[in-house]
Structure 1
Amino acid sequence: VENETHTADAVIIATGASAKWLGIPSEEVYKGYGVSACATCDGFFFKDQKVIVVGGGDTAMEEANYLTKFASEVILVHRRDEFRASKIMTERVLNNPKVTLMKSYVIKEILGEEVMGNKKVTGAILESTKDGSTTEIKVDGIFMAIGHKPNTDIFKGMLEMDETGYLIVQPGSTKTNVEGVFAAGDVADKKYRQAITAAGTGCMAALDAQHYLEEKGIV
């Protein structure tokens, strides 16, 4: 920590994973005020409203389908002509009457307003990746589904990771490839990424660490 060195007999890593964002200024302005990266967390707040989902992979398809349970219309915006998602996930979206596709577009700017100190999203300006033309659409919410990045850079070269940087743990446990080091939550979970599953693996990691320390005769 800063200039101090701390030692431990067991370590639990729970640094999580961060959602990938577009990186445009207006995104920061309305993050948490209509701009989200978690449909399961915030989808309910957009009941009977119009929303955008940004992305073209399985996550985007899953989020778009999920949001149709609440939203009146879901507009799926993808920068390319073709989706990266699996065929079955793509077909579910294509067959959903509440989903509108806008391929070969990116979000150039997120529009909104502030009334009595309360900010909210009112729309977005989309830019064509083919000819640069722009179009403005009115929406109430925008969900980013362009992936997550596990916060594991500081462990590179020390702990085993998959090709996307998620820590690899032994099946049925939270043990990493280094003795006495355990991983919990989104840092090792690319599938569920929910608070309740993170809490569950946190409990598992605590028990695994306790058993490890007991086996070593440390506690």
Structure 2
Amino acid sequence: MQATDVAHVLAVVIEDAADLMRADAIGLLVRGQDDALEVLTATSHRAHELELLQAQQAAGPCVDCFDTAAQVVETTGPAIEARWPSVGPQIVAAGYTAVHTFPMCWQDQTLGAMNVFHSGALPEDIDLAVVGQAFADIATAVTVQGGQTQVDPFERVMAALAGRTLIEQAKGVLAYQEGIDMDQAYDRLRSMADDETSLSNVARRVIDRAVRSER
């Protein structure tokens, strides 16, 4: 698996996780350059913005989960706002009233956290603690290994972040060219990808076409 293809596989993993957990959105924060948390991927632009806000404010469910390497849960809007006053109101304003966050650990290192957002009560017929952690572990393995057995976890995370940057650039290009919002642009990229063409390769083609058209 190429480093940039990690972004494609992660997109599929978190979409599957959201479907199974009946979540409205999922976002991943990982430890990047200088130990700062960075957004790796998200199921929507709104979730991406909330993850970015947590990274900028150094506060929120993903930050707490990363710091403690333990799951974090809040099940009401007021509890979210009270626990994280610098980011909680924005999470609730985005329509989410419950969060369940899972650590992304590799061997003895915490690499990041997977934030699961719900707009209503958490489903009671699913063992979210088990299912969510399983998906977080899968996302961690995809990010770190990428088909390789001997890896430096930090180097793989940085490579995955590079793939995410490419996709964000392509989203911006499509949004501008087609007059659509960023969520629609991401859906458009996903629809252009298939089993033989990764999300990262599609993003690269979109950017290359835009560059050629400007010449």
TM-score (norm 2): 0.29
Between Structure 1 and Structure 2, the one with more helix by share is 2
